[in-house]
Amino acid sequence: MPFLFDDIIFGPVRSRRLGLSLGINLLPLHRKFCSFNCIYCECGWTPALAREGMELPSRLEVASFLEQKLIELAAEDYLPDAITYAGNGEPTLHPEFSGIVDDTLMLRDRFSPGSVVSVLSNASRIHDPSVFNALLKLDNNILKLDAGTEETFRILNNPVESFDFRRMLSDLEKFKGKLIIQTMFLRGIVNGHLVDNTTSFEVEAWIAHLKVIRPKTVMIYPIARATPARDLEKISREELEWIGERVRQEGIEVKVYD
């Protein structure tokens, strides 16, 4: 079954990457809305990307619910380590994403100054200047890069609209290191074909991109929940550590999660 959020503000939940994290879902409740159709996504398959009639929370609603929740958590002495844009798909698809970021930072400073504001994004909208500039304001600008080659990228991430892989790589470089790269490693059979981004060829191609992008950190991790595509394998900690060591050899910090 897909893992979907039914609230605008959810948690705090324990995150393997971010500690105690208060989530912000800028997407429809009970429905995935995303620019990718990743074969491993815990939210399930992506429906057609029809924006007409799409019910997204307004900027005012997000700010109001976030303020209320932070006041409640402060009263309970349970403020989060992180405030994170995540939820049912790609958060930067929200047309008011930039303004919402400004509101979130203001509310964080007022009610929970010890929290870092983070995003979990697939990087599909970083060509949009308003999105790019908003991401630069965040403490943890966490962007996806799951493959070294375009062929594997398209199998793993499966964009639902026309997408330029090379432009995404170029735009990631424009952050000048103010980003964190997140990468899911897996192998399995998809539509009768083997997909594996852990091969030496794929890993070296991926590392070549990292050497140009120069992120401040790379987060690598395996499957943690049920996936919409069957026959996908969770990669062992030992394999992930091997990949992580290759990244460290290039002078880039890496964190391995399992």
Task: Convert the pLDDT of each residue in 184-197 to its tens digit.
Answer: 999 999 888 899 99
CA distances from 143 to 68, 202, 231 (A): 28, 19, 26
Q: Are 67 and 4 in contact (CB under 8 A)?
A: no
Mean per-residue pLDDT, 68-73 = 98
Please check the confidence at residue 176 and state whether its pLDDT lies above 80.
yes
Classify 10 as helix, strand or coil: strand
Domain edges within the chain: 9-256
Task: Convert the pLDDT of each residue in 209-247 to its tens digit.
Answer: 999 999 999 999 999 888 999 889 999 999 999 999 999
Task: Convert the pLDDT of each residue in 8-51 to its tens digit.
Answer: 999 999 887 889 999 999 999 878 999 999 999 999 898 876 55
Instruction: Report the C-alpha dihedral over residues 157, 171, 128, 176, rounded to 10 degrees.
Output: 120
What pLDDT does 49 receive? 62
Stated as kind and residue range, the H or E segment containing 190 is strand 186-190
Q: Which residue has the tokens 């990468």?
A: 183
Nearest to 78 by CA among 143, 26, 148, 14: 14
The angle that helices 59-75 and 97-111 make with each other, rounded to 10 degrees, is: 20
Please check the confidence at residue 3 and state whether its pLDDT lies above 90.
no
Fill in the amino acid letter for 258: D
Distance CA 149, CA 219 (A): 19
Write a three-state SS string for 16-64.
Answer: CCCEEEEEEECCCCCCCECCECCCCCCCCCCCCCCCCCCCCCCHHHHHH
What pLDDT does 15 receive? 85
For the chain, give the mean pLDDT. Answer: 94
Neighbours of 7 (CB within 10 A): 14
Mean per-residue pLDDT, 251-255 = 97
Mean per-residue pLDDT, 86-93 = 95
What pLDDT does 102 receive? 98
Classify 145 as helix, strand or coil: coil
Nearest to 142 by CA among 180, 178, 116, 169: 180
Please check the confidence at residue 183 and state whether its pLDDT lies above 60.
yes
CATH architecture of 9-256: Alpha-Beta Barrel (3.20)
Tokens of 66: 């976030």
Q: What is the pTM of this model?
A: 0.95
